[in-house]
Chains A and B, each alone.
Chain A
Amino acid sequence: MNALEIRNLTKNFPDFCLEDVNLTLPGGCILGLVGENGAGKSTLIKLILDIIHRDKGTVTILGKDNREKLHLTKQDIGVVLDEVGIPDCFNARQVGKVMALTYHRWDGGYYQALLEAFDIPQSAPFKTFSRGTKMRLGIVIALAHRPKLLILDEATSGLDPLVRDRLLDLLREFTQDEEHAALVSSHIVSDLEKLCDYIAFLHRGKLLLVEEKDRLLEQYGLLHCTQEDLLALPQEAVLGKRVNPYGVQALVNREALSGLLDVKPVGIEELFILLTKEER
Chain B
Amino acid sequence: MGALLLKDWYLIRKKYTWIFLLALTVSAIPLLSETLARNGFFLVYPCCVGFNLSFYLMQADRGSRWDVYACALPYSRAMQISEKYLIGLIAGAVSVAWVLVMQGWTLHRFGGFQWEAIGAMAYFLFFGGCLLLSLYMPLMCLFGVSTGQYVFGFLLVVLLVLFLLLSLLLSFALPYEMFSETMFKLFLPTPAVLGLSWYLSIRFYGRLDLGA
In Å, the complex CA distance between A220 and B187 comes to 73
B2 and A49 form a contact (CB under 8 A): no
With contacts A98-B3, A98-B6, A99-B3 known, is A74 near B66, CB below 8 A?
Answer: no
On chain B, the residues within 8 Å of A88 by CB distance are 64
* B15 interface neighbour in A13, A81, A89, A151, Cβ under 8 Å: A89
Q: Is there contact, CB below 8 Å, between A51 and B68?
A: yes
User: How many residues in B have their beta carbons less than 8 Å from beta carbons of A?
Assistant: 29
Chain B residues positioned under 8 Å from A77 (CB to CB): 72
B199: interface (CB < 8 Å): no
A87 beta carbon closer than 8 Å to chain B:
yes
Q: Within the complex, what minimum Cβ distance (angstroms) separates A145 from chain B?
A: 9
- Are A81 and B6 in contact (CB-based, < 8 A)? no
Range class of the A interface residue count? 20 to 34
Tell me if B161 is interfacial: C-beta within 8 Å of chain A: no
A214 in the interface, Cβ–Cβ < 8 Å?
no
Using an 8 Å CB-CB cutoff, how does the interface string of A95-113 with B read, 1 for contact, 0 for none?
Answer: 0011111110000000000
Q: Mark B61-93, 1 if CB is under 8 A from A, else 0.
A: 100111111111111100100000000000000
Of the candidates B10, B69, B211, which one forms a contact with A89 in the assembled complex, judged by CB atoms under 8 Å apart?
B10
Kindly list chain B residues whose C-beta atoms are within 8 Å of the C-beta of A85: 64-70
Q: A86–B209 contact, CB under 8 A?
A: no
CA–CA, A181 and B56, complex, Å: 38
- Interface flag for B151 (CB, 8 Å): no
Residue pair B10, A90 in contact (C-beta under 8 Å): yes
User: Bound state CA distance, A102 and B212, in angstroms?
Assistant: 25
> Which chain A residues in 41-84 approach chain B with CB under 8 Å?
43, 46, 49-53, 69-72, 74-75, 77, 79, 81, 83-84
Asked whether, in the complex, the Cβ of A52 is within 8 Å of the Cβ of B3, the reply is: no
Does B6 lie within 8 Å of A97, measured CB to CB? yes
B207 contacts across to A, CB distance below 8 A: 53
| A190: interface (CB < 8 Å) | no
Q: Which residue of A lies closest to B62 (CB)?
A: A85
Q: Cβ of A100: which chain B residues have Cβ within 8 Å of it?
A: 3
Say yes or no: is B185 at the interface (Cβ < 8 Å to chain A): no
CB < 8 Å: which of B10, B69, B75 contacts A81? B69
Q: Which residues of B contact A219 (CB under 8 A)?
A: none
* Across-interface contacts of B75 in A (CB, < 8 A): 71, 102
Q: Does A235 touch B at the CB level, under 8 Å?
A: no
Chain A proximity of B25: nearest CB distance (Å): 23
Q: Given the interface contacts A87-B11, A87-B60, does A50 sit within 8 Å of B71 by beta carbon? A: yes
Question: Which chain A residue shows the least CB distance to B7?
Answer: A98
Whether B210 sits at the interface, judged by CB under 8 Å, is yes
Q: Residue A94 at the B interface, CB < 8 A?
A: yes
Q: Is the CB of B71 within 8 A of A49?
A: yes
The interface residues of chain B lying within 8 Å CB-to-CB of A94 are 10
Distance of A189 Cα from B142 Cα, bound (Å): 39
Taken together as a complex, chains A and B put the C-alpha atoms of A98 and B7 apart, in Å, by 6
Which residues from B are CB-within-8-Å of A69?
76
Q: Is the CB of B210 within 8 A of A52?
A: yes
Q: Pick the contact of A13: B3, B6, B73, B212 (CB < 8 A).
A: B212
Other A-B pairs beyond A87-B10, A87-B60, A102-B74, 12, CB < 8 Å = A46-B68, A49-B71, A51-B209, A52-B209, A81-B72, A81-B211, A83-B68, A85-B70, A98-B3, A101-B6, A102-B73, A103-B74
Interface residues of A (CB under 8 A from B): 13, 43, 46, 49-53, 69-72, 74-75, 77, 79, 81, 83-90, 94, 97-103, 151
**Can you pick out 17 interface pairs between chain A and chain B where the beta carbons lie within 8 Å of each other?**
A49-B72, A51-B68, A51-B71, A53-B207, A71-B74, A74-B74, A83-B68, A83-B69, A85-B67, A86-B69, A87-B10, A89-B14, A90-B10, A98-B10, A99-B3, A102-B3, A103-B74
